[in-house]
Amino acid sequence: MKKRYDVIILGGGVVGCAVAWYLSHFECSILVLEKELDVCCGISKANTGIIHSRSYYTPETMKGELHLRSLPWFHQAQDELDFHLARTGALTVALSPDDLAYLRLLQERGQCPEAEILGPKDTQELEPNISENMVAAYYDPQTAVISPFRLTLALAEGAVLNGVDFVFNVPVIDFHSDDRGIGIETETETDYYVAHWVVNSTGFSAPALAEKCGDGVPPLQAYRGEYYVLDKETRGYVKHVLYPVPTSLSKGILVSPTPEGNILVGPNFEPVKPGDTSTTVQGLAEVKIGAQKLVHHLPFDRTIQIFAGIRSVLPERDFHIFFSHRFSNIVHLCGIESPGLTASFGIAEYVGELLEKRGLNLVHKAHFNLRKNAPIFSECSWEERERLITQDPDWGRLVCRCEEVTLAEVKRALFVPPSARTIDGLKRRTRVTAGRCQGSFCEMHLLSTMIALLGFSENDIRKSGIHSHCLVGETREERESYATRH
């Protein structure tokens, strides 16, 4: 069956979701096609989660321009999206007098009256565990950290509330000219989609899809970044985002608090084959050495998880956003590397302007729905907890002991669209399995809740991707009792 939309967005990463949410302010029909089973399964799921302030933008680049354009949105969109941003501030640490020029450059770019360059004593006061080899630091109060999952989900939920459709498990493979627009062919669906305007925000796949349109893009290079996540017990060991003075290739290995109270350490910068998200002994060792230059005795023995993310980088080290030559209404977003998370609102607004130039009429809807975050039980006061439990006893049923997540929150994740259908989907929405036990106490409760509430069988339980089954069948006893029951 043919399904028609005004705009179809390919890819449900932070960028695709930001574009969808932004365009949902206007009178047009919108669809997001995502190859995975959920939003935020690509580059957007594994990064440092920093909203880099103005001090850290790259002048005279598209990514710098969209970075600056995006920053005001983190205030503006609060009311509409209700996401949590932790303004921790940042320190860029100079380890030699040669680095001071760079700190001054940051100060100039930042144009922030409260920002300043601090000597060792003042820096130590702010950050007692900082390395003694530090000679000075640039203090920037505007840097913030965010959960990239929660931002992406806020955008996706906000989009759905304003009429955007999401279809999952549909890898897009090709485009055709259709009498009424652009026809989109997918791998798994018999459905065929037609749109007037198409936004290709498929991250790593964007150049390959551009290729399908006959648009040549220089090949993307994949650079892996590995991380450690430290237990919440280490909360406060580092209070600000700590940047080293960057190398010519990347921002370097950082130490950063997360909004949830963990400490994140990484990433390194290692060329790899696309898609290679394995962690390595060498990479982790490099990250450890890098971090120890900034912080003393970082408690690596409190590591609860290690992971890797992949940057998709073009040779010119900039975003490359352009219209297709053959299909004049397809816009390709290639090379959306760091600070793509920070720049996502700016990218969305810019894409809107581009589409407007090609005839999309941006007429504001008469009514726009605000997206409200559900209460986060672990952050509620005892009075609020009591009130919630009186409304619904599931707020008093603790599913995850480490992150203190209740059954009510898990249910919301299963039923508020775009809803979770996988264990990782539940993790990204509620933080179950993301704590110190990494799911060894709660995974069984998650499985049985999905089976009970969604009518799933054990074969439908997946970690993340379509082939990531968690269970392979039933035990003998279970099979026998099934046979006698029937």
Partner 1 sequence: MPRDIEAEVVVIGGGPAGMAAAHSAWEQGAKSVFLLEREKYLGGILNQCIHPGFGLQVFGEELTGPEYASRYIEKLGKTGVQVMTETAVLDLEPSRTIRTVCPRGVHEFHARSVILSMGCREKTRGMIMIPGTRPAGIYTAGLAQYLVNIEGYLPGRKVVILGSGDIGLIMARRLSLEGVTVEAVVEVRNSLSGLVRNYVQCLLDFDLPLLLSHTVTGIVGKERLEGVLVSQVDERWHPVPGTERFLECDTLLLSVGLIPENEISQKAGISLSPISRGPYVDETFATDVDGFYACGNVASVFDLVDYVTFVSQKAGEAAASHRPRGKVRFVLQVGVGTGLVIPQRIRNIEEGILFIRPSQGFRETQIIFRKRDEVFARKKTPICRPSEMIRIDIPSIPWPPEGGEVTIEITGNPIQGI
**In a 3-state reduction of DSSP, which class is residue 305?**
strand
The answer to the question of residue 436 lying near partner 1 (CB under 8 A) is: yes
The answer to the question of residue 418 lying near ligand FAD (CB under 6 A) is: no
Residues 225 and 462: their CA atoms lie apart, in Å, by 26
Between 357 and 467, CB nearer to partner 1: 467
> Is residue 126 classed exposed, middle or buried when 0-12, 13-18 and 19+ CB atoms within 10 A define those classes?
middle
Q: Which does 307 bind (CB under 5 to 8 A by kind): partner 1, ligand FAD, none?
A: partner 1
Chain position carrying tokens 């906000």? 158
In this chain, which stretch among 286-294, 340-348, 371-379, 475-483 interacts with ligand FAD, using CB under 6 A?
Answer: 340-348
The answer to the question of residue 188 lying near partner 1 (CB under 8 A) is: no
Of 325, 359, 448, 453, which lies in the binding site for partner 1, with binding defined by CB under 8 A? 448
Q: Which helix (H) or strand (E) holds 451?
A: helix 443-454
In this chain, which stretch among 26-34, 360-368, 396-404, 411-419 interacts with partner 1, using CB under 8 A?
Answer: 396-404
Phi/psi for 116 (5° steps) reads -155, 165
Q: Which of 379, 292, 312, 301 is nearest to 63 (CA)?
A: 312
The answer to the question of residue 305 lying near partner 1 (CB under 8 A) is: yes
Reported residue count of the chain is 486
Of 438, 454, 456, 460, which lies in the binding site for partner 1, with binding defined by CB under 8 A? 438
Residues 425 and 414: their CA atoms lie apart, in Å, by 9
Chain position carrying tokens 């508020």? 416
The answer to the question of residue 11 lying near ligand FAD (CB under 6 A) is: yes
Between 249 and 363, CB nearer to ligand FAD: 249
Task: Please give the residue whose beta carbon sits closest to ligand FAD in the complex.
Answer: 340
Between 192 and 441, CB nearer to partner 1: 441
The answer to the question of residue 116 lying near partner 1 (CB under 8 A) is: no
- Residue 334 burial (CB count, 10 A): 26
CB of 459 to partner 1, least distance (A): 10
Phi/psi for 7 (5° steps) reads -125, 130
Q: Which does 338 bind (CB under 5 to 8 A by kind): ligand FAD, partner 1, none?
A: ligand FAD
Q: Which does 168 bind (CB under 5 to 8 A by kind): ligand FAD, partner 1, none?
A: none
**In a 3-state reduction of DSSP, which class is residue 118?**
strand
- Please confirm, yes or no, whether 52 is among the known catalytic residues: yes
Q: Which of 19, 78, 26, 7 is nearest to 366 (CA)?
A: 26
Dihedral-angle region of residue 29 (phi above 0 means left; psi in -120 to 50 means alpha; beta otherwise): beta
In this chain, which stretch among 62-70, 74-82, 255-263, 382-390 interacts with partner 1, using CB under 8 A?
Answer: 382-390
CB of 212 to partner 1, least distance (A): 23
Q: List the structure tokens of 38.
A: 């959920």
Q: Which of 147, 200, 150, 196 is nearest to 174 (CA)?
A: 200
Q: Which helix (H) or strand (E) holds 304?
A: strand 303-313
- Residue 107 burial (CB count, 10 A): 18
Catalytic one of 52, 196, 240, 332: 52
Per DSSP bridges, beta strands 116-118 and 30-33 are unpaired
The answer to the question of residue 468 lying near partner 1 (CB under 8 A) is: yes
Each residue 250-279 as x (binds partner 1 by CB under 8 A) or -, in order, gives ---------------------------xxx
Each residue 25-54 as x (binds ligand FAD by CB under 6 A) or -, in order, gives --------xxxx----xxxx--xxxx-x--
CB of 4 to ligand FAD, least distance (A): 18
CB of 185 to ligand FAD, least distance (A): 10
Q: Name 240's bridge partners.
A: none
Of 97, 179, 477, 485, which lies in the binding site for partner 1, with binding defined by CB under 8 A? 477
The answer to the question of residue 342 lying near ligand FAD (CB under 6 A) is: yes
The answer to the question of residue 394 lying near partner 1 (CB under 8 A) is: yes
Q: Which does 34 bind (CB under 5 to 8 A by kind): partner 1, ligand FAD, none?
A: ligand FAD
The answer to the question of residue 470 lying near partner 1 (CB under 8 A) is: yes
**Residues with Cβ within 8 Å of residue 301, at least 6 apart in sequence:** none
Residues 76 and 81: their CA atoms lie apart, in Å, by 9
CB of 349 to ligand FAD, least distance (A): 15
Of 283, 309, 346, 439, which lies in the binding site for ligand FAD, with binding defined by CB under 6 A? 309
DSSP assignment of 138-200 equals: EEETT-EEE-HHHHHHHHHHHHHHTT-EEE-S--EEEEEEETTEEEEEESS-S-EEEEEEEEE
Q: Which does 13 bind (CB under 5 to 8 A by kind): ligand FAD, partner 1, none?
A: ligand FAD
CB of 483 to partner 1, least distance (A): 13
- Residue 194 burial (CB count, 10 A): 18
Residues 246 and 207: their CA atoms lie apart, in Å, by 28
Q: Which residues bind ligand FAD (CB under 6 A)?
A: 10-16, 33-36, 41-44, 47-50, 52, 171-172, 201-205, 225, 267, 309-311, 336-342
Q: Which residues are catalytic?
A: 52
Q: Which residues bind partner 1 (CB under 8 A)?
A: 229, 233, 277-281, 283-284, 303-307, 382-383, 385-386, 389-390, 393-398, 401, 404, 406, 436-441, 443-444, 447-448, 458, 462-478
